[in-house]
Structure 1
């Protein structure tokens, strides 16, 4: 191969990398992104000692399809509001286990489907504890920039969850 051919090929590769670098992630980054997404789910465990600022960006936005509060419809939460929700959950549910997880990653996005179980041991939404282990599933999409989650979209089986803790009959 001549010097000129090599230079042309190298220039094309650099050009294509510049164009697609933000679209096509490297395989190891996808695996790292999956770990970050899973770590974010594990923070809900009552024994988690994770510092949320190591996982989430300071401008983090949590998009929840609908909450388990009196608010109706989709909500957006900032990091402080999200942390308060996690704290309330940890007080009411213990022994959380991730029963089954599936993840897909592409670019800066990770989708995670998880089946969760936890024991309802504290008051939640005004309901007295049932001391039952309940199960539900959730799907979460996270967008990761510079190794931190900047935005999350969550949908979950709130009806099954609320029925199991006695709010819905």
Structure 2
């Protein structure tokens, strides 16, 4: 279970806390078990600073606290604060990364369910799609729907998301796909050939919807599988 620790500080020397964080990151390289660290400053009280540190589990957090580098930095942190920092320890019982959810819905509802019109609810009105295998590298939503409908009609593909990483407004995905060539694709008549391949995509989300996407997949490999190109 993911574990998060809040370290609540009062200090008139925020720059010193920032330097201590840099020192801790460098000193614990290759040793620390923390996976994410964030520092926030209270907008209504500039002396109120909260550090948020994430760990894979409480047990991993305890390993991190036993590092001599962590203890040294903590003692310097106490010295830089106006009063003793307080700690809040949390076991994370729910963690919804909302941009990842809308991207997951895109794959399930649009691609795997074969419904290009599902993009109307999942994408912004000014959505732009960038894919070198399509007619242009900058398509609006309507044109992207038309061209992707042709691909889905030709192969009835199923996409499996192998990994998904979200940071800020961006979601990056590594995927595999499988399908069968049962419809016309780029002028090629159906071959009934099973096809499979790999692909990557990055999505930019805004307001709970997908605003932009960039796609890279092995189109040449697909054409080779269809016998349209010599190996």
Normalised to the residue count of structure 2, the TM-score between the two structures is 0.56
3-state SS of paired residue (2:43): helix
C-alpha deviation, 1:167, in angstroms: 2.0
2:169 corresponding residue in structure 1: 108
Structure number with higher relative contact order (C-alpha < 8 Å, ≥ 6 residues apart): 1
Pick closer, same or farther for the CA change 1:12–1:123 going to 2, 3 Å.
closer
RMSD: 2.5
2:149 corresponding residue in structure 1: 87
**In the alignment, structure 1 residue 97 sits paired with structure 2 residue 158:** yes
User: Is there any run of 5+ residues in structure 2 with no aligned partner, and where?
Assistant: 1-9, 11-39, 46-93
Which of 75, 89, 98 is 1:32 aligned to? 98
Normalised to the residue count of structure 1, the TM-score between the two structures is 0.74
1:57 corresponding residue in structure 2: 124
Give, in whole Å, the separation in 2 of the partners of 1:149 and 1:104.
15
Equivalent pair of 2:116/2:149 in contact (CA under 8 Å):
no
Pick closer, same or farther for the CA change 1:78–1:155 going to 2, 3 Å.
same
Equivalent pair of 1:44/1:89 in contact (CA under 8 Å):
no
Runs of 4+ in structure 1 over 4 Å off:
none
1:36-61 CA distances to partner (integer Å, 9 max, x unpaired)? Answer: 11222331235437521111100001
Equivalent pair of 1:46/1:90 in contact (CA under 8 Å):
no
Which of 171, 182, 192 is 1:131 aligned to? 192
